[in-house]
Structure 1
Amino acid sequence: MLDSLSDVKKELKKKMKKKSDCLLPCLSENDRQCIDLIREQTKQLNQNNVTRTQAYFQFYLQYPEIHWALLGHLISRNVGWNMTDLKGELLTKLLPEKDQEAFFSFLERGSWLVFQDVYPQFSVYDLSVIRGKDMFHLLPFFYTSTFMETMWRYFWRSGDSYTLAIAMIINEQSQLEKELIQNNHFKKNVTSTVSFKMYEFLRMNNILFPYNAEGKSEKVSLIGGISQQFTSLHERILFGKNLYATLFQSEEILAGVLKWAHECPHTGSRKDYWPDLFNDVNESLPRSLYKRRVKNCMLKEGANRLYSPPLKYAWPDAPHEDTKSGDWFRDWHVLDYINKEVSLNGEILKNYCKTLEKIELAVMAKEALLLREEK
């Protein structure tokens, strides 16, 4: 019985000693039909960033005890904004088309991998609730980590939403480490490129959680954080914990985030949260030299809004190869992350405003250099 984290630790230690190729449990015909249905539903909802993002939100609305579903929804929104930035006003002037496509492929693959892993887990939980009994014996058929199978069983008995959320952060980042960050193709074409280093240098890896602050009618408020050392698994897990703490730190912020998410369906355009700064229609003249437009996240007088296209106009749906590689779980000490302290801040507005201004300056510097070379 998994009644405490001490029991979880013992269970994970036992699983580490077992062979990874242990036999899967025998299934009833009904179980097989459930597996086929979950696979088909996951495939349908894993079409693109917009469908994934909406699926996370719908699941959270149905099961608010699964905190990660809301965190995943908001991070997925940010991934979508990062995708459309690649075809937006500024980055199209900074990044060559080859890098735009490589970055999109990287973001899309990561987004697909996480959903492919996590949505069957959600579906099995849903099935367990409907049937009123633990159905987590189905998880191995979706290549779910033995770590998460254990954590779901613990959650089923304890109702410990916090621990499940942190376990899911550990799991998804470990999956990404194995399948994306350590992938030789993406190492060569994305994370080791000059463009990626520039991306990190300009601090374009802001994660924003828009919310409607109580009693305020002006543009939405923002909380969030800046991802440091994206290629470090340790740093990504701690960052995920920080984002979780930021999101669930108060009932007021949580209510404001939910209100905004309800009222603003995800399109991939940054116009979703700041229509006075971004537009999903390009207002600029083609081939015109870029002039500074933004100061403290406000447009200068008479300036056009920054172009931020919806995802459906920026990128087509991408095909994906299934991944069936082995379980990432090797060390029960990952449980230590559950109790590790986090530094809670959530302040993001000033950093984000400075990021936009830095990118503008980089665009202008590049255009000035190209003009000089043409003379």
Structure 2
Amino acid sequence: MFFCKKKKKTEPLSHQLHEIKGKLKKSLRNPCQLKIEHVSEKDQMIVGQIRQTTKMLNSNNVTRTKAYLDFYLRYPEIHWAFLGHLVSRNGGWNMTDLKGDLLSRLMSEKKQEEFFEFLERGNWLIFQDAFPQFLLYEESLRQGRSLFYLLPCLDISRFMEVIWNDFWLRRDSYILAMAQVVNEQSYLEARMIQNPFYKEKVLHTLEFVLQDLLSFNQILFPSGGEKTVLTGMTIHQFGSLHERIVLGRKLYQLLFKRHKEILGWCLSHVHSGSRKDYWPHIFNDVNEGVPGPLQIRRLKNCRLIKGSPKLFSPLLEHVWPNMRHRPAESGDWFDDPDVVVYLKKIDEVIDGEITGDYCETLQNLELAVLAKKAVFI
């Protein structure tokens, strides 16, 4: 696995990260992993129950998004669970966009299905890797002892076994969260981003390029009471592992900078997949428009033009059925202890102002739909 080497090698690591790096090196020298048939019957039952619970909660974007938040509320020291909840909310909104007022007019039904499969597969893969770790942590707390030696039996990277054991001793929520950002994005890299099928069908298609040019890949964090405030960030280089990890670190800082307000919003707005969840003045989960091509603009300065119908943003359950997934591809991404540089604490000033950019995105996308005949001749 390649990681960006642009950081100066002379930058010092903390004592804790030096220790972690040493243990990661040791894990590479001793790659033998514990197998399920070599553990006790009691441990096999724990692994089996974790797999069963994970499968049940991983039915669709709505169930997994709720599961992340429910876990975070029980164990707020596991910061990534809250970050995972917010990013998964955004994943659901992206899924329903494919059947909403704008993107559905730029894509054929086949292309919509290919994009949905891409989004759903990634969302599913991350959950089936991350949530068993959470459940094993929960069981460890219940038993009062570390059970992280069972992570290999759940096909979790040896990188995370080292990290969880360190967390069990030090309770460093930041390092655990950053390690999970690194782990989940690295886990996706070979299975999704470098997968020839998704490269051809999604990542290299005109529609994906168009979304990138229009900045329609923003991660939004709603907060506030009666009037929802949006913060967040945009990623353009989705195909870069380094950029996705850096984005994850920035999103984490932004999220916990506004933690109380964002959590309050999440608790009062159940995730449905519809963008109506955060902007009901612009979106509706009932289609108010008329069938056929979009004829006139409806948006100006992030407001509906008087008399215009709201943008259709459906509930996820109404437009996408549960998908049957093939088993996750095997293999451990971890092969470079230098990845610990991503775990360093870096104080960055993250503004997070995104409302203006997001409004511009919607308006540009609407213009693209109106110009569809000219763009796709």
Q: Does 1:287 align with 2:299?
A: no
Of 141-150 and 338-347, deviating more is 338-347
Structure 2 runs not aligned, ≥5 long: 1-14
- Are the aligned partners of 1:169 and 1:240 in contact in 2 as well (CA < 8 Å)? yes
Deviation, 1:301, is 1.0
User: Aligned residue for 1:366?
Assistant: 372
Alignment of 1:227-266 (within 5 A): 227-249=235-257, 253-266=258-271
Q: 1:24 aligns with which of 19, 23, 35?
A: 35
User: Aligned residue for 1:303?
Assistant: 308
CA distance in 2, matches of 1:196, 1:336: 31
Deviation, 1:188, is 1.0
Query: TM-score, length-normalised on structure 2?
Result: 0.93
Deviation, 1:288, is 5.1
User: Aligned residue for 2:353?
Assistant: 347
Of 177-186 and 359-368, deviating more is 359-368
Deviation, 1:256, is 1.0
CA distance in 2, matches of 1:288, 1:23: 58
The SS at the match of 1:4 is helix
User: Aligned residue for 2:7?
Assistant: none
User: Aligned residue for 2:106?
Assistant: 94
User: Aligned residue for 1:171?
Assistant: 183
Q: Does 1:274 align with 2:279?
A: yes
In structure 1, what residue type is equivalent to 2:159? F
CA distance in 2, matches of 1:367, 1:282: 23
Cα root mean square deviation, aligned: 1.5
Cα shift readout 1:114-140 (whole Å, capped 9, x = no counterpart): 001001000000001111110101111
In structure 1, what residue type is equivalent to 2:361? T
User: Aligned residue for 2:139?
Assistant: 127
Structure 1 stretches of 4+ with a deviation exceeding 6 A read: none
In structure 1, what residue type is equivalent to 2:240? S
Q: Does 1:182 align with 2:187?
A: no
In structure 1, what residue type is equivalent to 2:253? A
CA distance in 1, matches of 2:253, 2:34: 39
CA distance in 1, matches of 2:195, 2:374: 36
Deviation, 1:152, is 0.5
Cα shift readout 1:207-252 (whole Å, capped 9, x = no counterpart): 000011xxxx542001100012000000000000010000012xxx
Deviation, 1:22, is 3.9
CA distance in 2, matches of 1:202, 1:288: 20
Q: Does 1:206 align with 2:218?
A: yes
CA distance in 2, matches of 1:142, 1:131: 19
Of 93-102 and 163-172, deviating more is 93-102
Q: 2:233 aligns with which of 220, 225, 230?
A: 225
CA distance in 2, matches of 1:357, 1:194: 19
Deviation, 1:18, is 2.2
CA distance in 2, matches of 1:290, 1:76: 33
Deviation, 1:58, is 0.2
User: Aligned residue for 2:3?
Assistant: none
Deviation, 1:110, is 0.2
Q: Does 1:357 align with 2:373?
A: no
Between the two proteins, what is the percent identity of the paired residues? 51
CA distance in 1, matches of 2:165, 2:187: 20
The SS at the match of 1:230 is coil
CA distance in 2, matches of 1:105, 1:290: 30
Deviation, 1:324, is 4.3
Q: 1:117 aligns with which of 118, 125, 129?
A: 129
In structure 1, what residue type is equivalent to 2:196? N
Deviation, 1:258, is 1.1
In structure 1, what residue type is equivalent to 2:262? V
Cα shift readout 1:227-283 (whole Å, capped 9, x = no counterpart): 12000000000000010000012xxx2111111111111000000111111000000
Q: How many residues align?
A: 361
User: Aligned residue for 1:328?
Assistant: 333
- Are the aligned partners of 1:242 and 1:343 in contact in 2 as well (CA < 8 Å)? no
In structure 1, what residue type is equivalent to 2:35? L
Query: TM-score, length-normalised on structure 1?
Result: 0.93
Cα shift readout 1:269-314 (whole Å, capped 9, x = no counterpart): 0001111110000000112533111122211111110000000011
CA distance in 1, matches of 2:230, 2:241: 26
Deviation, 1:154, is 0.5
Deviation, 1:315, is 0.6
CA distance in 1, matches of 2:209, 2:116: 16
